[in-house]
Amino acid sequence: MLDTNRIPEHVAVIMDGNGRWAKNRGLPRLAGHNAGMKSMIEVVRRANDLGMKHLTVYAFSTENWKRSVEEVSGIFKLLIRYVESELKELMDNNVRIRILGDYSPLPPDARKAVDKAIANTAGNTGLQFNIALNYGGRAEILRAVRELAEEAADGDLAPEEITEEMISERLYTGARETGCGDPELIIRTSGEERLSNFLLWQCAYSEFVFTDVLWPDFSPEEFEKCIEKYQKRDRRFGGR
Which position among 24, 49, 64, 134 bears the catalytic label?
Answer: 64
Q: Compute CA distances 119 → 98, 115, 218, whole Å.
A: 9, 6, 29
Helix (H) or strand (E) holding 33: helix 29-49
Which position among 3, 5, 16, 24 bears the catalytic label?
Answer: 16
Residue 130 falls in the annotated catalytic set = no
Helices first, then strands: H and E counts in the chain: 7, 6
Residue 64 falls in the annotated catalytic set = yes
Which residues are part of the catalytic machinery?
16, 64
